[in-house]
Amino acid sequence: MDNKLSIISLVCNAILTVAVIVLFVLYASNKPAEVEETTSVVPLGEQIPVAYINLDSLLTGYAFAVEANDQLMAKQENARVELNSAMRKLQGEMNDFQRKIDNNAFLSRERAESEQRRILKKQQDLEARNDQLTQSLLEEQQRLTMQLKDTIDVFLAEYNKDGRYQIILSNSASDNVLYSTPGHDITKEVIDQLNKRMKH
């Protein structure tokens, strides 16, 4: 049962990492809004209007992302407390049952079997609750990730409506952008404007 109940901890610990990865993949695989596809090659030395956003900084600086993370952490903690409390109670009942078996405290075999079935049913219910909470956390993570992506998509379409950038890249821990001249990193400006929009 301990192995089964530990699933919730493993899943919860991975949720924020998954959120970052999902957001990164979604941005890496989507083209910026209203950019025309072209097969022409940019002449050597000619600059392309490119900017990038550091996703790590965005997720720690954008108030909506911080609030979403706090919601997930609170829900994870509530699930952990609930499951641990139920597990301790069940373990106590199992220990009490074993003591009664060892001391022949049951009046009949039927009574002992009935108590054993009750405890097994309670254990199955607890495992089902663990699965339910795990699924609920995953669904909440997916919902918040999509909300976060939608808010950023809408903002970037408005932010770049003048067409100043042909490409806006995502960057995480400097994995994608190995070098850029100053001015291409628009992370702080984007975070500031996103947070300003949240206050309205």
Write down the domain spans for the chain.
Answer: 2-30+46-199
Q: What is the pLDDT of residues 115-157, one digit of tens each?
A: 999 999 999 999 999 999 999 999 999 999 999 999 999 999 9
Q: What is the pLDDT of residue 28?
A: 44
Q: How confident is the model at residue 106 (pLDDT cuts 50, 70, 90)?
A: confident
Q: Is this prediction's pTM over 0.85?
A: no
DSSP element (H, E) containing 84: helix 63-102
Segment 32-56 shows an average pLDDT of 64
List Cβ neighbours of 25 (8 Å cut-off, separation of 6 or more): none
Q: What is the pLDDT of residue 11?
A: 44
Burial 132-165 (b: 16+ CB within 10 A, else e): ebbeebeebbeebbeebeebbeeebeebbeeeeb
133 contacts 16 by C-beta, under 8 angstroms = no
Q: For the chain, what is the mean pLDDT?
A: 82
